[in-house]
Amino acid sequence: MIPSREIFFNIVPAGVIAAYVLMIIPIGLLAYGLARRVRRWRLGQAENRFDQMGHRIWNMVRMSVLHGRIVRTRNLYGGIMHAAIFTGFVTLLIGTLIVMVETDFTVPLLGFSFFHGNFYLGFKLAMNVGGLLLILGTSMALYRRLVLRPATQQTSGDDLLLPATLLILAVQGFVQQALRLAMTQDPWAAWSFVSYPVALALQGLPMDVLARLHQLNWTVHLVTALVFIGYIAYSKMIHPFTALANVLMRRIRPRGELNPIPNMETAENFGASKLEHFSWAQLMSVDACMHCGRCLEYCPTFNTGKALRPRDLVLEIAGLQADRGGIFSGVLGEEANTGRFRWGRGGERELIGGAVSTEEIWDCTTCGACMEQCPVFIEHVPLIVEMRRNLVMEQNSFPQELAPIFTSLERLGNPYQNVPAERADWTRKLEQPVRQMSEVVAAGETVDYLFFVGCLGSFVARNQKVTLALTRILQNAGISFAILGKEESCNGDPARRMGHEFLAQQLAMKMVDKMNAYNVKKVVTGCAHCFNAIKNEYPQLGGNYEVIHHTQLIDELIAAGRLTLNEASDITQEKVTYHDPCYLGRYNGVVEEPRRALKTIPIVNLTEMPRNRKHSFCCGGGGGKAMMKDQSATRINQTRAREALATGASVVAASCPFCMGMLEDGIAAVDEKSGVRVLDIAEIVASSLQAPAVTAQRETV
Amino acid sequence: MRYGLILLAAGVAVLLMSEAGEWAALRMLAVVLLVGGAIAAGIAGGAHPQSAAYIKRVGAIFSRNAMCAVAILLTAPALAVLAASLYGALVRLTSSNAAGDAPLLILGGVVALILLALASTVVVLGTGAIRGKTPQQPTEKQA
């Protein structure tokens, strides 16, 4: 006897016909919901996301289907939960399709049956495992929503209805199988290891009762499945479509690169004040959000109680889009999805001021923690910058403290109202002079590196010390370099992140022209923001250079034996903790080089803060926030300072002048008497430097 | 929309033919026509300017209480079977002729109990969610 079973066992033909006819309703509703969404996305601006399709598809498979982005060591519970639901659901879906192929295709059309023997036994086993996984995953989801209740999750009706429906579907499936096994005395019943014991317990019931219950349960299982399919497009269950589409179509440029406004002179609008001003891909991305709240885990504004919560911002835009598209309806549609950020509030609202508040827009430090965490690659920062662009460039509406910053950047090329002629004044404190690019070129010579000092390193006394330390390191290692001196200006990063794209492009273009004129090939920066802008954004303007951050260069020099470090220095025996700047670590993946550089100093005892590397916590100074007021009760820099102080370190190592300033202020505010110092890695290394025995000034690394 | 409806009508006709005349080979064609028709109609409906208003009107028919009743009706058979299974396991375990099956019956009872407990819980939660009741988050306090 070959193991198999009758498909549509105990189901009357009318039931089969009804099943096929009824399925057109939910499939139609699903197609309708998807079509409405796609129509909304198509109203967005054009953007090419169809390049490198092979890479995109592989990335989608790796990150989403194989859960590379979902199961992460710092979020194992959520990752395992999703993997269980996904695996269970997909297994059961494939199982249903296999039955359909057998009964509707291979047997009637090809006269070939495969649903028997070992395949059938494996199928039974797989279906039971799939059902168990689905029950496990949905139970974990409900447990998290109802019992664990992490601070990053806000539960709507939708968040409960979906796992509840999936769990009921799985239970109905097991019950259906148990009833059939009880009726048929299936000799291979034990392969259905979940249903079989239940079937044994049911065997006392009369056969006609079992048959009636089997038919009834089959009917309600079918109707539940159809209701579920119909609900997909109107709930977060749409994410298998939208999230996969978003991962497939995600921006594959460096994450630290913002898209420029093309053809600024002829552009009809700047930034986004309407949904249609976002690109189609951005409009699609907000529909991919499934409220998991991972974007909040390391978000500095959420963690300090500010108005901006990246998840809510995305859902506010998604809600407005849904209202405009008239996608949701009825009591269930509205009630299940109404939260403080959701739809049902009217499509007539304005984007800025209606759906999204200006406070949210200006709260963002652009640290990218939300984007780093988002399992479906939603890019929150570009959405915010688009709205900032509109506020600044069209509505002339921005925090008042930014007005003098913009004016200073425009007139003087730095945000601090310093005279450009004073840019190289710090070099007077050096024993060994530093050459300027103009002198080098005039002499018909070349240098290996342009040292892009940056505004803080040039003008602010505290940061000048770092610049001097770095210069001593370069000189000590015999690096051939020069600076732009008074020809240097702001790289444009703060203006760009604050939404003044016109000013940002003006400043960046000036630098690109100058650096190209001097035939610069390699750039070393002392600032994470300069590093990110020149490395990732200058190529947009024709500035293509090999850009290296000073911590990377120091690490290389130490590894190459170009720097010899003393056993003792002024930080002897001190415990040091390192703060990763967002624009260095998170955006550009430079996390190990600074640590290696610190560890090579023999007496440094490096200790880590709980949030480190790509999971670092922002200092609060990015996105122009270092120049804006933070008047909330809990300041971001103080939160980070507390974390640093809790390590017991007496030195906080930094590698970005903005972080340095924010952390110094934070430590002073939290515990002025702690005596904890904030030092740049260049200062720590420079304090340990031995004088070079033989320094070859023109050597290259 | 017209093409979608034509495909749907054709699909229903082919399905009836396949079942009535026992031409099972036609069933796959019926499935293709029905699914294709549903998708075509759905997409065409999505493009219709008034469709959102129509859908809203249809959606408004369903009250919360009606949706709750539907949810309970859909889950009741499974709950009843699980309860019967639990009862059946107990009855057979207490009878004299269950000695050989006892471990499996105990397992069956445990599985039925777990599934019953889970399903009952989600029915309560689901109907609560339909009625607009969601658990109060403590606060979205800082992590």
Q: Is residue A5 part of a domain?
A: no
Taking an 8 Å cut-off on Cβ atoms, the answer to whether B128 and A336 are in contact is: no
Q: For residue A93, give the amino acid letter.
A: L
Closest chain A residue to B128, measured at CA: A157
Q: How far apart are CA B106 and CA B117, in angstroms?
A: 16
Residue A559 has pLDDT above 60, yes or no: yes
Q: A419 and A311 in one domain?
A: no
Q: Please say whether the beta carbons of A495 and A409 come within 8 A.
A: yes
Closest chain A residue to B121, measured at CA: A164
Domain boundary among A239, A256, A287: A239
Q: A593 and A486 in one domain?
A: no
Q: Mean pLDDT across the stretch A115-139?
A: 97
Backbone angles phi, psi at A482, to 5 degrees: -150, 165
Taking an 8 Å cut-off on Cβ atoms, the answer to whether A107 and B107 are in contact is: no
Between residues A338 and A621, the one the model is more confident about: A621
Give the distance, in angstroms, between the CA of residue A543 and the centroid of all CA atoms in the same chain.
Answer: 27
Pairing of strands A651-654, A605-607: unpaired
Share above pLDDT 70 across residues of chain A, in percent, rounded to a whole number: 95
Q: How far apart are CA A348 and CA A168, in angstroms?
A: 38
Distances (CA, A) of A584 to A174, A464, A552, A587, A654: 52, 20, 10, 6, 11
A268: domain CATH number?
A: 1.10.1060
In this predicted structure, what is the pLDDT of residue A339?
44
Round the CA-based radius of gyration of chain A to a whole number and report it.
31
Taking an 8 Å cut-off on Cβ atoms, the answer to whether B43 and A35 are in contact is: yes
Q: Does B14 touch chain A (CB under 8 A)?
A: no
Q: How far apart are CA A367 and CA A203, in angstroms?
A: 62
Q: Is residue A1 part of a domain?
A: no
Q: Which of A481, A478, A477 is nearest to A434 (CA)?
A: A481
Least confident among A59-73, A499-513, A685-699: A685-699
Domain boundary among A326, A361, A394: A394
Q: Does B56 touch chain A (CB under 8 A)?
A: yes
Q: Please say whether the beta carbons of A539 and A515 come within 8 A.
A: no
For residue B76, the chain A residues in CB contact (below 8 A) are: 220
Q: For residue A687, give the amino acid letter.
A: S
CB pairs under 8 A between A and B: 268
Q: How far apart are CA A479 and CA A133, in angstroms?
A: 60
From the list B30, B47, B74, the residue facing A39 with the nearest CB is B47
Find tokens 């009878």 and name the residue.
B95
In this predicted structure, what is the pLDDT of residue A38?
94
Q: Please say whether the beta carbons of A146 and A213 come within 8 A.
A: no
For residue A138, the chain B residues in CB contact (below 8 A) are: 122
- DSSP 8-state assignment for residue B69: H
Closest chain A residue to B7, measured at CA: A24
Q: Does B12 touch chain A (CB under 8 A)?
A: yes
Q: How far apart are CA A488 and CA A622, in angstroms?
A: 21
In this predicted structure, what is the pLDDT of residue B138?
56
Q: Which of A83, A57, A41, A68 is nearest to A287 (CA)?
A: A41
Q: Please say whether the beta carbons of A697 and A580 come within 8 A.
A: no
Q: A578 and A521 in one domain?
A: no
Q: Is residue A269 part of a domain?
A: yes
Q: A618 and A543 in one domain?
A: no
From the list A145, A201, A331, the residue facing B85 with the nearest CB is A201
A519: domain CATH number?
A: 3.40.50.1860
Spatial strand order in the sheet of A677-680 = A605-607, A575-578, A651-654, A677-680
Angstroms from B41 CA to nearest CA on chain A: 6
Question: Which residues 29-48 of A have a C-beta within 8 angstroms of B?
Answer: 29-36, 38-39
Distances (CA, A) of A104 to A14, A101, A107, B34: 16, 5, 7, 13
- DSSP 8-state assignment for residue A547: E
Q: A693 and A549 in one domain?
A: no
User: At a CB cut-off of 8 Å and minimum separation 6, what does B69 contact?
Assistant: none
- For residue A446, how many C-alpha atoms fall within 13 Å in the half-sphere facing its CB? 10
Convert the pLDDT of each residue in A531-546 to its tens digit: 999 999 999 999 999 9
Q: How many helices and strands, by DSSP H and E, does chain A display?
A: 27, 8
Name the β-bridge partners of A279.
Answer: A45
From the list A149, A204, A220, the residue facing B137 with the nearest CB is A149
Q: Does B55 touch chain A (CB under 8 A)?
A: yes
Q: Does B119 touch chain A (CB under 8 A)?
A: yes
Q: How far apart are CA B135 and CA B125, in angstroms?
A: 9
Q: Is residue A544 part of a domain?
A: yes
In this predicted structure, what is the pLDDT of residue A630?
77
Report pTM. Answer: 0.92
Q: Does A20 touch chain B (CB under 8 A)?
A: yes
Name the β-bridge partners of A554.
Answer: none
Number of neighbours of residue B37 by Cβ within 10 angstroms? 23
Q: How far apart are CA A403 and CA A624, in angstroms?
A: 12
In this predicted structure, what is the pLDDT of residue A572?
58
Q: Mean pLDDT across the stretch A591-609?
A: 91
Q: A311 and A221 in one domain?
A: no
Q: Mean pLDDT across the stretch A399-416?
A: 96
Least confident among A200-214, A454-468, A630-644, A686-700: A686-700
Angstroms from A56 CA to nearest CA on chain B: 27
Angstroms from A35 CA to nearest CA on chain B: 5
The domain in which residue A106 lies consists of 13-239
Q: Is residue A161 part of a domain?
A: yes
Q: Per the structure, how many domains does chain A have?
A: 4
Residue A327 has pLDDT above 80, yes or no: no
Question: Which residues 354-373 of A have a C-beta within 8 angstroms of B?
Answer: none
Q: Please say whether the beta carbons of A126 and A172 come within 8 A.
A: no
From the list B31, B55, B62, the residue facing A331 with the nearest CB is B62
Angle at A345 between CA A342 and CA A350, to 5 degrees: 100
Residue A571 has pLDDT above 70, yes or no: no
pLDDT band at A335 (very low <50, low <70, confident <90, very high): very low
Q: Is residue A7 part of a domain?
A: no
Find tokens 């403590």 and name the residue.
B138
Instruction: Give the 3-state secondary structure of A560-601.
Output: CCCCCECCCCCCCCCEEEECCCCCCCCCCCCCHHHHHHHHCC
Q: Which two tokens stand for residue B16?
A: 């009836």
Q: Is residue A6 part of a domain?
A: no
Q: Mean pLDDT across the stretch A320-336?
A: 63
Q: Mean pLDDT across the stretch B120-132?
A: 90
Convert the pLDDT of each residue in A419-442 to its tens digit: 999 999 999 999 899 999 999 999
Q: Does A322 touch chain B (CB under 8 A)?
A: no
Q: A661 and A568 in one domain?
A: yes
Angstroms from A668 CA to nearest CA on chain B: 23
Q: A426 and A522 in one domain?
A: yes
Best mutation target, B134, B136, B137, B139, to test chain A (most A CBs within 10 A) = B134
Handedness of CA A36, A40, A42, A47 (dihedral sign): negative
Angstroms from A140 CA to nearest CA on chain B: 11
A663: domain CATH number?
A: 3.40.50
Taking an 8 Å cut-off on Cβ atoms, the answer to whether B84 and A205 are in contact is: yes
Q: Which two tokens stand for residue A558?
A: 């130490």
In this predicted structure, what is the pLDDT of residue B127?
92
Q: How far apart are CA A621 and CA A663, in angstroms?
A: 9
> What ipTM was estimated for this complex?
0.93
In this predicted structure, what is the pLDDT of residue A328?
62
In this predicted structure, what is the pLDDT of residue A482?
98
Q: A173 and A211 in one domain?
A: yes
For residue B129, the chain A residues in CB contact (below 8 A) are: 157-158, 160-161, 164, 336
Share above pLDDT 70 across residues of chain B, in percent, rounded to a whole number: 92
Q: A440 and A377 in one domain?
A: no
Tell the burial category of B96 from Cβ atoms under 10 Å away from its Cβ (0-12, 13-18, 19+).
exposed
Q: Is residue A330 part of a domain?
A: yes
Q: A262 and A200 in one domain?
A: no
Taking an 8 Å cut-off on Cβ atoms, the answer to whether A33 and B46 are in contact is: yes
From the list B62, B122, B125, the residue facing A330 with the nearest CB is B62
From the list B35, B77, B108, the residue facing A201 with the nearest CB is B108
Q: Please say whether the beta carbons of A340 and A312 come within 8 A.
A: yes
pLDDT band at A692 (very low <50, low <70, confident <90, very high): low
Q: Please say whether the beta carbons of A226 and A25 come within 8 A.
A: yes
For residue A139, the chain B residues in CB contact (below 8 A) are: 118
Q: Which two tokens stand for residue A62?
A: 């790796």
pLDDT band at A316 (very low <50, low <70, confident <90, very high): confident
From the list A32, A205, A216, the residue facing B88 with the nearest CB is A205
Q: Does B99 touch chain A (CB under 8 A)?
A: no
Convert the pLDDT of each residue in A23-50 to its tens digit: 999 999 999 999 999 999 999 999 999 9
In this predicted structure, what is the pLDDT of residue A153?
86
Q: Please say whether the beta carbons of B104 and A200 come within 8 A.
A: yes
A177: domain CATH number?
A: 1.20.950
Q: Any idea of the CA torsion for A488, A494, A500, A502, to the nearest 10 degrees?
A: 30
Convert the pLDDT of each residue in A632-657 to its tens digit: 778 999 999 999 999 999 999 999 99
Q: A336 and A267 in one domain?
A: yes
Q: How far apart are CA A615 and CA B122, in angstroms?
A: 35
Angstroms from B17 CA to nearest CA on chain A: 11
Convert the pLDDT of each residue in B18-59 to its tens digit: 887 777 788 889 999 999 999 999 999 988 878 877 777 777
Share above pLDDT 90 across residues of chain A, in percent, rounded to a whole number: 79
Q: How far apart are CA A489 and CA A510, in angstroms?
A: 8
In this predicted structure, what is the pLDDT of residue B137?
61
Expressed in angstroms, the distance from the first to the final Cα of chain A is 77
Domain boundary among A181, A205, A239: A239
Q: Does B88 touch chain A (CB under 8 A)?
A: yes
Q: Which two tokens stand for residue A644?
A: 């640093």
